[in-house]
Amino acid sequence: MPFELPELPYAKDALAPHISAMTFEFHHGKHHRAYVDNANKLIEGTPHADKTLEEVIRAAHTDGNTALFNNAAQVWNHTFFWHSMKPNGGGAPTGELAERINHAFGGLEQFKEAFKQAGVTQFGSGWAWLVLDNGDLKVTKTANADLPLVHGQTALLTCDVWEHAYYLDFQNRRPDFLQAYLDYLINWDFAAENLAKATAA
């Protein structure tokens, strides 16, 4: 089964003014679509053609198939990123997620600082993540298409720090983009759902 470009979970203008409809036109409509199209070309007629996206990512990583890994992982990463944000996001987590953030980081503001620092200091293209790693919450960063899935970690949230994620709206001001993500866009409900699934498994 070929992979498909998923619809955004909100309208293209729903995250304005922090992320514009024009950014989504390029980021979702062109970049994300290209990863989907490229991944489909690379799996066509191969044993990967009937695998899930996660299975393809793991297999490509194990086999050292860089082209397939990069494109398949970027399909996954972008889909996860769209859901890591929501209209009128931000605020504070609640329940178990809030307790775990307080335990791991010492409070929400300390988490925000660690997450922002991870995104700002990721040299070149990549991602900042909140992950569950051996039962503990951690902030990590990955380069290019790399993702927690192949490192034994469960992703709870991510922010894309490739330039195409923010350049039309923030130009070279990556720290401002990350701050806007944390203050106005972050989807704590999605993170809580991912934590609940991971801890119930």
What is the mean predicted confidence (pLDDT) over 85-93?
A: 98
Domain boundaries defined on the chain? 21-83, 95-200
Read off the pTM: 0.97
CA 58 – CA 73 distance, rounded (Å): 9
Q: How many residues does the chain have?
A: 201
- Write down the residue that tokens 């990955």 correspond to: 142
Q: Is the pLDDT of residue 15 over 70?
A: yes
Q: What is the pLDDT of residue 201?
A: 67
Give the contacts of 52 (CB within 8 A, at least 6 positions apart): none
The per-residue pLDDT of the chain, averaged, comes to: 97
Instruction: Say if residue 63 is exposed, middle or buried (CB neighbours under 10 Å; 0-12, 13-18, 19+).
Output: exposed
Tokens 């299975």, located at residue: 55
Q: Where is 133: in which H helix or E strand? A: strand 126-133
pLDDT value for 171: 96
Tens digit of each residue's pLDDT (9 = 90 or more) over 120-155:
999 999 999 999 999 999 999 999 999 999 999 999
Q: Which residue has the tokens 């194990």?
A: 62
Residue 1: pLDDT band with limits 50, 70, 90: low
What is the mean pLDDT of the segment spanning 11-36? 97
Q: Are 21-83 and 95-200 equal in CATH topology?
A: no
pLDDT at 130: 98
**Could you give the percent of the chain with pLDDT greater than 90?**
98
- The predicted pLDDT at position 155 comes to 98
CATH class for the domain made up of 21-83: mainly alpha
Phi, then psi, of 20 in degrees rounded to 5: -80, 160
Identify the CATH homologous superfamily for domain 95-200: Iron/manganese superoxide dismutase, C-terminal domain (3.55.40.20)
Give pLDDT, residue 179: 98
Average pLDDT over residues 165-178: 97
Residue (of 68, 88, 124, 98) closest to 16 by Cα position: 88
Other CB atoms within a 10 A radius of the CB of residue 187 amount to 18
